[in-house]
Structure formats: C-alpha cells, structure tokens
Amino acid sequence: MKLAVFNDLRPGLVKGDRIHDLVQLVPDWRPEDPASINTFLSSVQVHASKIAAVGETAQSVPLSSVTLRAPVPMPTQILAAPLNFVEHRKEMQGPMTSGPGTARELGFFLKASRSVSDPSAPILLPDLGGRRIDFEAEVAVVIGKEARAVPAERALEYVLGYTLVLDMSLRMTETEREERTQRKSYATFTPMGPWITTADEVPDPASITLKAWRNQELRQDASLADLIVGVPDLISRASHVVPLDAGDVYATGSPAGVGQVQPGDRVTVESPQLGVLTLDVRTRPW
C-alpha cells in the first residue's frame, strides 16, 4: 500500500493516479491534528486488510487534485544516521565534521519534529550570512509499533514502511560549530514524502535505490545495499537506547554527492520503490 496524508491532514490510500480518503478509519480525526495521523499509523499493521478493503470502496479523487502533506506530519521522534555510506564519509572531511567515525560508532542523532515539511512545500533557507546549507537525500524508515530492545533478526517486523526525506544540513566551519541537532532542525529542513510505501511491498530494504538531482545535475545515485549499518541493525541498536513507536521516523543516512543549495534551486529525489520528491529552495521570509 501507498499511505499518504493530504489536504487538511486526511489519511489516504494512493492507487495509481487516485487517492482514496481513509478518514473513516480514524474515529477521532480532527482537521490539522497530526496526532490523528499517528493514531492512524499505529493501527496500520494491525488492520492492514481492513485498510485495503476500505480503500476499495472509499471515495477517491485524482491525486493531482489534492495537496500531499508529509506522510508523518509530526513524528514523535526523528532519528537519523550520521555518516552511513563509505563514500559520503570520505567527502565529509575537515571542519565540516566533528571527528572520525561512522554510524557504526556514532549511533543516531535526533532532528526536531517541527523541522518536517510537506512534499510540495519549499525548503526555506534562513539568512546565515552565506553559510553552506546542503541537501542530503535519504530513505527513511517509518516505525509501525513499539520496538523496545528488539534483535536485528526481528527488527523488520516493526517497520510500517519507507518514505523519502531530505536531511537538510547547515555545515560547520572552523569557528561555527553548533550542535548537529540545531544545524539540521531549521523549519523545513526535513521535507518528507510523497507517501509511505508499506513494508510488504519492500521485503528487503537493501533493495531500495534512490537518485537525487540538484537542478539538472545528478548528484546522488545509491542503493541501501551499501549502508554501513543496515536497516535492521539501525532499528535494533536504537531500540536498545529508547523505545521506538508507531510514526517514529528513522532517516538512514545520505549517500555521497551532497551539495550546497541556493534560493532558486530545485532538488528532486526519485526512488523506483518510493516515488518522487520535488522541492524548490527559497529564502525564508521570517
């Protein structure tokens, strides 16, 4: 299934070029209430067949007629893997990083939940005097149920599905060395979408590939088979630190080819398994 959120935070099922309204499956749904979506996401693994059945009969409209929202508009937690591809580790040398190590040694970091933005919304660059702000195109895992100290062999049971994110990142300099969480948590620094592709459609996350373009230039071309720490180990290891719950999002790390963006740029991320994200970059008006 392809689970989307659209218009006033309604859950929807995408089938072909149409989206089916699933709001009847969320008894306490309230417009613009992201908690309604987390409640819905916590029910998906339990009620997958019911959702599919409702999707058969629910009212549908053309996908092109709705505004897609982030498929997890307000994750309780956004975890992210730093430096999880060998070639990206190599390009991140010098003052831009805080030292040696990969995701294997460093574990995860957190991003602010309010940094999430919709797949159709622009990335807004704050005025930071010309500091370098990069895009990092990543596959994100969406958790489907509570995961607490799960072994890697069972970690995929806790995966609801996968989506695309950009992990927008303000880079450090020799003298400007803010915490990673702050540098990656500006509003709109976690665009997400276009929807969640449920795990049954992607039995092996290592099979997921993605490409990312800055304007016409292909910058990233990667496979999750090349992750230093693969998806099962990411989930297992984090779940021994803190329980993960339905709607938590784990960005798996950026491949090589990250690059600076400027207002006026367009970043496109495409995965044959997960869809397409197209994001315009603008100056933040506030």
Contacting range for Mn ion; rule: CB under 5 A; set: 35-43, 94-102, 219-227, 251-259: 251-259
Count residues near Mn ion (CB under 5 A).
3
Taking the complex as a whole, the smallest distance from the CB of residue 79 to Mn ion amounts, in Å, to 11
Please pick, from the candidates 21, 134, 136, 245, the single residue that binds Mn ion as defined by CB under 5 A.
Answer: 136
Nearest to 170 by CA among 147, 189, 154: 189
Contacting range for Mn ion; rule: CB under 5 A; set: 31-39, 97-105, 141-149, 161-169: 161-169
Residues 6 or more apart from 4 whose CB is under 8 A from it?
11, 12, 13, 14, 19, 68, 69, 71, 193, 194, 195, 196
Say if residue 71 is exposed, middle or buried (CB neighbours under 10 Å; 0-12, 13-18, 19+).
buried
- For Mn ion, the binding residues in 217-246 under the rule CB under 5 A are none
Taking the complex as a whole, the smallest distance from the CB of residue 166 to Mn ion amounts, in Å, to 9
Mode of pairing for the β-strands spanning 137-143 and 249-251: antiparallel
- CB closer to Mn ion out of 117 and 254: 254
* Phi, psi angle pair for 167, to nearest 5°: -100, 85
Name beta bridge partners: 11: 5
Contacting range for Mn ion; rule: CB under 5 A; set: 21-29, 57-65, 98-106, 129-137: 129-137
Taking the complex as a whole, the smallest distance from the CB of residue 234 to Mn ion amounts, in Å, to 13
Contacting range for Mn ion; rule: CB under 5 A; set: 95-103, 115-123, 124-132, 249-257: 249-257
Residue 134 makes contact with Mn ion by CB under 5 A: no
Please pick, from the candidates 38, 39, 254, 271, the single residue that binds Mn ion as defined by CB under 5 A.
Answer: 254
Taking the complex as a whole, the smallest distance from the CB of residue 227 to Mn ion amounts, in Å, to 12
Please pick, from the candidates 21, 118, 167, 245, the single residue that binds Mn ion as defined by CB under 5 A.
Answer: 167
Taking the complex as a whole, the smallest distance from the CB of residue 23 to Mn ion amounts, in Å, to 33
Q: Closest residue (Cβ) to Mn ion?
A: 167
Q: What angle do CA 191, 194, 198 make, to 5 degrees?
A: 115
Cα 36 to Cα 45, 73, 164: the distances in Å are 16, 10, 21
Q: State the residues that interact with Mn ion by CB under 5 A.
A: 136, 167, 254
